[in-house]
Amino acid sequence: MTHIFLTGQIQIGKSTLLRKVLTGLPGVRVGGFRTVTAADLVGALGSVYLVPAALDPPLFSEADRVAIRFGGNRGAVGYPEVFDRAGIAALRDAEKADLIVMDEIGFLEADAAGFRVRIGDLLDGDTPILGVVRQQGETAQQRMIRMHPKVRVIEVTKENRDSLYPEILAFFMSKLKHTGGGYEESEVQIL
């Protein structure tokens, strides 16, 4: 097993746990992507933007908008062509990083075939991945992640979210030492 994907109920703390693990790995070169929601549209809950994981704070433009969330019965509208453009761009050369971030994989990119192929290539690779996969739904991407032999899917709950941190951090510390990512154990601080 090389990769860990977190899953669980909405707003349970999956992305927060992911960010905490990244903070515990200072000096690690991060590739991949994360999604950011911004309340920037009247009549909608917000736009979802796909940004490179290494950008902190995230910078995004309308060209990076992969979806609009409306809430209620109106749900969300995804833009697969943006996933195929911005998503593939964020994953370009990701295998050259020490750790790949994929936060998050769900239903919005279900029709983004090029993005799905790139994710599959990275899952088959040896660069460790820390990601989030939406618990609800069964898209081709979600199924590919859940069934991949190199992936361990961990459900985050209110009861375990704090205790998972040291386990996941230790897992990636071990993986990063083996991949020669320039990471030293003494640099990690367990919070």
The three-state (H, E, C) secondary structure of 97-149, written as one string: CCEEEEEEECCCCCCCHHHHHHHHHHHHCCCCEEEEECCCCCCHHHHHHHHCC
How far apart are alpha carbons 72 and 70 in whole angstroms? 7
State the fold for domain 3-187.
Rossmann fold (3.40.50)
Q: Is the Cβ–Cβ distance between 134 and 107 less than 8 Å?
A: yes
pLDDT tens figures, 67-80: 999 977 788 899 99
pLDDT tens string 133-184: 999 989 999 999 999 999 999 999 999 999 999 999 999 999 887 555 544 4
Q: Can you state the angle between helices 113-124 and 140-147, rounded to 10 degrees?
A: 10
User: Residue 146: phi, psi to the nearest 5?
Assistant: -65, -30
Closest listed residue to residue 58, CA positions, set 66, 46, 50, 69: 50
Query: Rounded to two decimals, what is the model's pTM?
Result: 0.88
Share of residues in the chain with pLDDT > 70 (%): 92
